[in-house]
Amino acid sequence: MSCAAACGLTCMTSITAQTHATLDGVIDAPPADALLPYMSDAGRQGALDLALAADALLLARETWQGLARAWRDQTGPMAERLNTMPKYVVSATLGSAAEWDHTTIVGYDDIAGLREREQLLTYGCGRLARDLLADGLLDVLVLSLTPVVAGAGRRLFDDPGHLVRLRLTDSTTFETGAVRLFLEPDHA
């Protein structure tokens, strides 16, 4: 089952990117404690559902390193899923993947082949997600919008260089005011 199908969408996806952003599109600020009031059990369950529907994680090196530090010693359903599922870390500089179990180092050129075989989930919206979108490899963007304005910080799409069209396929509004959007690239 694809990540999108697990969340009630009818399309079959191969790569789903999940990320959080403020209303002004900032993805790396404000501090996590400013966002905590907008977290909900339903939102956490939605994130777990996406992880359970994926065959493997596809992560850029910095995201992989940060998630490894955050999750490898945690317990609970999400930690169990992330720690036991296969992970592909895209890196030309990482010497070893021993830091987090079930990880394989791959190159960017390997992604198309992985996409043909596995339902992949990636976190964040840094260069890897932007490259996947630009190269037509990203099937779904799950964007969790938090109703705060950061004012400064790295933006979701810093400067794509061209118009990026996305089609809204589903949305959920949580009791906290956060909104989860399911978007597909519109190549029209």
**What pLDDT score does 1 carry?**
36
**pLDDT one-digit tens code per residue, 144-155:** 999 999 888 888
The residue range of the domain holding 138 is: 3-185
CA–CA dist 152, 141 (Å, integer): 22
> Using one digit for the tens of pLDDT, what is the confidence trace for 124-167?
878 899 899 889 999 999 999 999 998 888 888 776 667 788 99
CB atoms within 10 A of CB 104: 12
Q: Which positions of the chain have pLDDT values less than 70?
A: 1-13, 159-161, 188
Q: Determine the pLDDT at residue 160.
A: 64
* Res 126: pLDDT: 84
Tally of domains in the chain: 1
Which DSSP symbol is given to 110? Answer: G
pTM for this entry: 0.88
pLDDT for 12: 54
The answer to whether the peptide bond before residue 31 is cis (omega within 30 degrees of 0) is no
Q: What is the DSSP string of 39-107?
A: --HHHHHHHHHHHHH-SEEEEEHHHHHHHHHHHTT--SHHHHHHHHS-EEEE-SS----TTSTTEEEE-
CATH number of the domain encompassing residue 66: 3.40.430.10
